[in-house]
Structure 1
Amino acid sequence: MKATIKDVARLSGVSISTVSRVMNNPELVVPRKRQRVLEAIRELHYSPNALARGLIHKRTGTLGVLIPDISNLFYPAVLRGMEDAAHQSDYNLIICNTDASAGRRNSILKVLYEKQIDGVIWTSEPLPRDSYEMFETLDFPVVLAATHSPEFEIPSVKVDDEQAAYDATVYLIGRGHTRIGMISGPPNDPISGYPRIQGFLRALRDYQIESDEAVCVEFGKYHFEDSYEAMKRLHGKFPEMTAVFASSDERALAAISYLHENQIRVPDDISVIGFDDTRMAGMSFPRLTTVAQPLYEIGFSAVDKLLKVINGEPIEELRTCVPHQIIERNSVIDCTQQAVIK
């Protein structure tokens, strides 16, 4: 049976409160008694209960992470960054899949409150007012990862989605593509939908490429199957396109799958560029050129910010915009070079 604090007190001949002081404020205990308690702890292999420590320090050393869909390829690297940052400060994470459901999300928050977690990281989704008010009521410190909230003064870490989409489109234009399509998330998504669509369209305007949004942009949910159907619809109404910008790697892989199954060569017939740089981007055939978000850094920085809030330390910037970059692989062909060869 596991030793308790009572066992330590009995073996060392002191009170329970003295044992507690040795563990938490040893300088308050005379050396003779302190030594007896430490010897008893070693002999009994006593390990103080985490909840008991939390009651003493008013901390439980746990953070909640709310994720809309844990199966999304986007999250493993983000969670790895969060886990490493938490581990460095002796914190643990409770990963919660909300399924993008308000009811499930609120139920999870109540459970996290009962577990007396020290703070919450909210990922990817827009933060609705009811959840913000619930955080205020439950007195949870909150940091946003891969999302932001202009409406509320909450610390966040994310890329500039519009600029990243703009740069992806300019990359395709710079390689001679002028008939470019896009498969995207819904335009009413203010985090990764609307901004990336606007970045794509802005690049076409800036480079004076004629386009009809109704023709060159197709919308769908973020799952592979939905993106496959979106690519099918896009190709049906815009068969002359030579390149497609997919607003996530999963969408890009779905696009490649559709093209391959219809004997359309990537990149020879249609080039494909993705967004995120998940691990699968380097495993596909052809290997996927993509806009890389620093996924690990987003996760690590979000936890780092949250711990500073919890500890009352100053935060250098409320909304951190981390840099993106384009990772070149094999799914985009340079039409300008192709023209020179011909």
Structure 2
Amino acid sequence: MSVNIKDVAKKAGVSISTVSRVLNNGKYVKPEVRLIVQQAIEDLNFVPNSIARSLVSKKTNLIGVIASDISTSFFSSTLSYIEEAASQNRYNILVGNIKDNLDKELKYLQVFKEMQVDGIIIMHEMMDKHIERFLQSLTTPTVFCSAKPNSSVNCPSVNIDDMQASYDTVKHLISLGHRRIAFIGGDTKELSTGRYRYDGYLKALVEAGISVNPDWVRFGNFKLQDGYDIMQTFLQSEQLPTVVFAVSDDMAVGALNCIVDHDLKVPDDISLVGFDDSSITETVRPKLTSLHQPIQQIGQMSVDILIKMIEGQSPGVKEVVLSHKLVERSSLRSLL
């Protein structure tokens, strides 16, 4: 026989409304009464009906997350911190892993709306006119995480200054005596991770009077295999770069594997720098120098801002820009 809220109220010796307030983390419940009700729930193995609760509270306690590709180190790490922050605030997450498929993104957004999620986090920038129109008409609180919406979509965002981060990294490489600097970029249709990081690379080279060698510039999709394949093309050029800067740690590790497979050494023959400072940087040998962005803070702040909006508060600022820094490890050497 299934246990219902009346059984919990009877065992705890309280009213049904008191049990309901405890279940919905409501106010005006004395701490000692809350403990008694929680003990009764545990003793009876009572599992609340989430649909019924949402009808009463007008909330589902669900957050929908659109991720570009959770197989990459950056997205999986960020998603983990989003889930942790959501859980601490009694929210569960639903993940739409779109793998850069805009039709899938639109489908997931529609599903999230139908399921009446309380809020949406989007970790992706590319959009077509259908997604743009959908987001413009959407009333569900929405935050862009490590991504920026285009000007027609009025949503707050949390990220770093990607162009400045890339510029600072390449400028540092130049200060170490590197002038033959190869670049493994991301899809330039993505402004932050693609276009802006490439622009930062170009700006640093131009300021230093270094010509851009087209043979040393290639673009991938943030995967290990992309880094490996692109590094193959660099190794076939007449003159090798002294350092390779990849805009994701996964692509940098792919490049590292390719270099090793060609019996070359990092950093003796070619230095290597990644981007994100994800956990993979410490697991490879040599350890990977990487541009650190505060992944945990990005995920947590995205959730914090979203919950403010869900509760009817102002998100505060439209764009949160967090700090970055280069973390040097043994994959980079000075030529001076």
> 2: CA distance between counterparts of 1:181 and 1:285?
21
Cα distance, 1:220 vs structure 2: 2.3
Q: Which residue of 1 aligns with 2:58?
A: 58
| Percentage of matched positions with identical amino acids | 33
> 2: CA distance between counterparts of 1:193 and 1:11?
59
Counterpart secondary structure, 1:308: helix
Cα distance, 1:138 vs structure 2: 5.0
1:167 correspondence with 2:168:
yes
Cα distance, 1:23 vs structure 2: 2.3
C-alpha offsets along residues 108-155 of structure 1, whole Å, 9 cap, x if unaligned?
223323332111100033344422432454532110001001412211
> 2: CA distance between counterparts of 1:241 and 1:291?
19
Cα distance, 1:218 vs structure 2: 1.4
Q: Which residue of 1 aligns with 2:333?
A: 333
- TM alignment of 1:281-300, pairs within 5 A: 281-300=281-300
C-alpha offsets along residues 211-246 of structure 1, whole Å, 9 cap, x if unaligned?
23x233112222211221111112323533211111
- Is there any run of 5+ residues in structure 2 with no aligned partner, and where? none
Counterpart secondary structure, 1:263: coil
> 1: CA distance between counterparts of 2:123 and 2:192?
11
Q: Which residue of 1 aligns with 2:16?
A: 19
Q: Which residue of 1 aligns with 2:245?
A: 245
C-alpha offsets along residues 286-336 of structure 1, whole Å, 9 cap, x if unaligned?
100010111111111111111011111122211111111101100011111
Check whether the contact 1:65–1:120 (CA below 8 A) recurs between aligned residues: yes
> 1: CA distance between counterparts of 2:135 and 2:3?
37
The letter of the residue matching 2:197 is R
- TM alignment of 1:176-325, pairs within 5 A: 176-212=177-213, 214-237=214-237, 239-325=239-325
Counterpart secondary structure, 1:83: helix
- TM alignment of 1:92-131, pairs within 5 A: 92-131=92-131
C-alpha offsets along residues 153-187 of structure 1, whole Å, 9 cap, x if unaligned?
21101111111111110111111111111111233
Check whether the contact 1:159–1:324 (CA below 8 A) recurs between aligned residues: yes
The letter of the residue matching 1:19 is I
> 2: CA distance between counterparts of 1:39 and 1:258?
56
More deviation, 61-70/237-246: 237-246
> 2: CA distance between counterparts of 1:27 and 1:175?
59
The letter of the residue matching 1:227 is G
> 2: CA distance between counterparts of 1:335 and 1:63?
49
- Is there any run of 5+ residues in structure 1 with no aligned partner, and where? 29-33, 337-342
Check whether the contact 1:181–1:238 (CA below 8 A) recurs between aligned residues: no
Q: Which residue of 2 aligns with 1:156?
A: 157
Alpha-carbon spacing, 1:141–1:127, altered in 2? closer, same or farther (3 Å):
farther
Alpha-carbon spacing, 1:279–1:116, altered in 2? closer, same or farther (3 Å):
same
Alpha-carbon spacing, 1:237–1:188, altered in 2? closer, same or farther (3 Å):
farther
> 1: CA distance between counterparts of 2:161 and 2:238?
28
Counterpart secondary structure, 1:215: helix
Check whether the contact 2:125–2:149 (CA below 8 A) recurs between aligned residues: no
Cα distance, 1:268 vs structure 2: 0.8
Alpha-carbon spacing, 1:176–1:122, altered in 2? closer, same or farther (3 Å):
same
TM-score, normalization: structure 2? 0.87
Check whether the contact 2:102–2:128 (CA below 8 A) recurs between aligned residues: no
The letter of the residue matching 1:258 is C
When the two chains are superposed, the root-mean-square deviation of aligned CA atoms in Å is 2.9
**Structure showing greater Rg:** 1
Cα distance, 1:27 vs structure 2: 9.8
Check whether the contact 1:218–1:231 (CA below 8 A) recurs between aligned residues: no
The letter of the residue matching 2:20 is M
> 1: CA distance between counterparts of 2:13 and 2:285?
70
Check whether the contact 2:63–2:92 (CA below 8 A) recurs between aligned residues: yes
The letter of the residue matching 1:195 is Y
> 2: CA distance between counterparts of 1:40 and 1:299?
33
